[in-house]
Chains A and B, each alone.
Chain A
């Protein structure tokens, strides 16, 4: 049943991803009135599907790649709705909604077979660890996309393009980018802290010698450095995109390291 809800959600993400194009690029209110309700419905179906999926697997957190992907998609869709509610812009949907669609597509039609019996996965703390880190990743992606929109809008204004598409104003894009980072920092900090405490209690000090874990802490430092530079140097535009992209690739590396780590992988603590 959970697969059916997920497939419905994926279909709705697809509809929303198509409808958001004319809504964002040509400011067509009719299409916006399709994109937003479709996203809201998709989020609801997605949530139900995820809850059913985790309940059926007798655990309370995503343990395989597909489940993690689908949770990340849900968080991104929620982020898109929050941005729309706060700033009345659907432009980020041009990128976010197709990502949600793609993140849901594979789990919807080719669900993962992994299962785990590791007892710690049934605790609330580990769920918090995973959810907070995924929220931080979603925030970082949102920030990168907002910075990209800033760049596109800046370029169009500089080129004096007579027909400016309906992109968010520069200051709005900048605010979204910065606020997303500021939201992501406590999520990442708390997520890493909780993970460290659990690791300390269950595995011991050897856990912190794993390259994946070291990379995660490096990611945290880079993240803090990026926020510091953005806030204090007023970094905007091209350089902000470069910086966000760099941090994003660090995050991707940390994510990918899950596949190679001895002590931290989807089926391990």
Chain B
């Protein structure tokens, strides 16, 4: 019964685990074309509702399809049918896609969707972007009318599950990129980074990325120094904005200016160390012992590791940052196990809700039929009951109501059980 009334849920897709980038990029749909693609999917015969999720790591079609016996022969209820849609829409030969495709139905489709939105199926487990991408796909699908009752409730549940996993596990709490690890460490030292000063020594993409992360977290001042002063001026100009004070300082003034900085990001190509422990002591003295954080991204290193022994100086080189990132990644894997348990529980809950919802129309019909019979019998006996007092008539009414309820109770129980059996793939 559930299949006929609710339709069949089918999820088809490719992701970073099943397809190389060469295949994924051919199927990727830019956000500007997502509405059009969703509309096209919805126009396929037999598709009642649909949603397309397209990110750099996956393309997935979530569909609710008609499930009547007649339609089964003519409508795209199978992998091959949706494959044909992909082929027609993207002009990619089916043979190029087929080996990489995966397909999930019903309960497994729900599970997969929960896992994707909760970032358990992501390349970097726990990354937060995927939930936003699923929400964006949902918004677009809703705008074009591709999501209504069934997928609406499924997707709302999906967002709730994803949020629950974020709040009940630590899956997304630790940073796994070098730049974000550096920011996390800075926050462990300084708390808020509001108003903090960052000194960039040398130039490099990673150091600039780390600096941008720090600005994003509230760092208010960026000092830049380079052996080539014009290069320092250019980098400083790149960072300049109304919220950030930037300043290019002469490399010769480095040691005099460094105490101004709370965070020093060093990435020069110098063959020998630029900062020694004695520099650290001098800086700390000038700062009245306020801590300093040195992020040394240079290879060979710019900061003497012994500077870490100076009280108030914290030195992290590229290996240290990578080690923290790797440990955080391992933490995420551990948290993922807890998240999988939540997903399994939520899939079961979702199906229980669906089952009870499936049984509702039949239960209502049975109750209505019984009530009609009761009313008909009462009407037939109306002349014989007319002599009764209103209290006696009310008692008869209550008696027949109670009898009817008791008579149909076994049928109601059987009906619920049958719905459960029909939707349980194990039976």
CB contact between B189 and one of A163, A169, A237 (< 8 Å): that residue? A169
The distance from the CB of A85 to the nearest CB of chain B, in whole angstroms, is: 16
Partner of A235, one of B190, B289, B320, B327: B289
Complex alpha-carbon distance, A163 and B185, angstroms: 11
Secondary structure of the B contact surface, majority rule? helix
Contacts of B288 in A (CB 8 A): 233-234
Partner of A236, one of B167, B312, B316: B312
Q: Are B289 and A171 in contact (CB under 8 A)?
A: no
A residues 17-75 touching B (CB-CB < 8 Å) = 26-27, 29-30
* Complex contact B191–A169 (CB within 8 A): yes
Shortest C-beta distance, B307 to chain A (Å), equals 11
Tell me if B316 and A170 are in contact (CB < 8 A). Answer: no
Closest residue of B by beta carbon distance from A163 = B327
A209: interface (CB < 8 Å): no
- B289 to A236, Cβ gap below 8 A? yes
Q: A169 vs B193: C-alpha distance in the bound complex, in angstroms?
A: 11
Q: Which residue of B lies closest to A29 (CB)?
A: B167
**Inter-chain contacts of B190 with A (CB < 8 A):** 169-171
In this complex, what residue of A is CB-closest to B190?
A: A171
CA distance A159 to B283 in the complex (A): 21
Residue of A nearest to B317 (CB): A160
Asked if A238 CB lies within 8 Å of chain B CBs, one says yes
Given contacts A160-B316, A233-B289, whether A172 and B311 have CB atoms under 8 Å apart is: no
Closest A residue to B168 by CB, please name it: A30
Q: Which residues of chain A come closer than 8 Å to B239, judged between CB atoms?
A: none
Report if A171-B291 is in contact (Cβ < 8 Å); known contacts: A157-B185, A158-B308, A236-B312.
Answer: yes
Query: Is the Cβ of A237 less than 8 Å from the Cβ of B311?
Result: yes
Task: Give 1 or 0 for each of A141-162: 1 = CB within 8 Å of chain B CB.
Answer: 0000000000001000110101
Docked CA distance A157–B287 (Å) = 20
The docked-state distance in angstroms from the alpha carbon of A189 to that of B323 is: 50
In the assembled complex, the Cα of A49 lies from the Cα of B338 at a distance in Å of 42
Q: Are A234 and B289 in contact (CB under 8 A)?
A: yes
A238 to B324 CA separation, bound complex (whole angstroms): 25
Q: How large is the interface on A (under 10, 10 to 19, 20 to 34, 35 or more residues)?
A: 20 to 34
Say yes or no: is B314 at the interface (Cβ < 8 Å to chain A): yes
Chain B residues, Cβ within 8 Å of A268: none
Instruction: Give the chain A neighbours of B316 by CB distance below 8 A.
Output: 160
Any A CB within 8 A of the CB of B55: no
B287-301 contacts to A (CB < 8 Å):
287-291
Known: A29-B167, A233-B288. A171 touches B327 (CB 8 A): no
CA distance A171 to B187 in the complex (A): 9
Does A164 lie at the interface of the complex (its beta carbon under 8 Å from any beta carbon of B)?
A: yes
Chain B nearest CB from A42 CB (Å) reads 26
CB-based nearest B residue for A232: B288
**Would you call A160 and B189 a contact (CB within 8 A)?**
no
Q: Interface code B248-261, partner A: CB below 8 Å = 1, 0 otherwise?
A: 00000000000000
User: By the criterion CB–CB under 8 Å, are B312 and A157 in contact?
Assistant: no
B353: CB under 8 A from chain A? no
CB closest residue in chain A, given B287: A234
The answer to whether B320 and A160 touch across the interface, beta carbons within 8 angstroms, is yes
Instruction: Report the minimum CB–CB distance from B262 to chain A (whole Å).
Output: 9
> Does chain A have a CB within 8 A of B68?
no
Question: Is B173 a contact partner of A170 (Cβ separation < 8 A)?
Answer: no
Q: B170: which of A27, A160, A164, A167 is its contact (CB, 8 Å)? A: A27
Residues of B participating in the A interface, judged by any CB pair closer than 8 Å? 167-168, 170, 173, 185, 187-191, 287-291, 308-309, 311-312, 314, 316, 320, 323-324, 326-328, 331
Residues of A at under 8 Å CB distance from B?
26-27, 29-30, 153, 157-158, 160, 162-164, 167-172, 233-238
Q: Could you name 30 residue pairs across A and B whose Cβ atoms are closer than 8 Å?
A: A26-B170, A27-B170, A27-B173, A30-B168, A153-B188, A157-B189, A157-B314, A158-B309, A158-B314, A160-B316, A160-B320, A162-B326, A162-B327, A162-B328, A163-B327, A163-B331, A168-B191, A169-B188, A169-B189, A170-B188, A170-B191, A171-B190, A171-B291, A233-B288, A234-B287, A234-B288, A234-B289, A235-B289, A237-B311, A238-B311
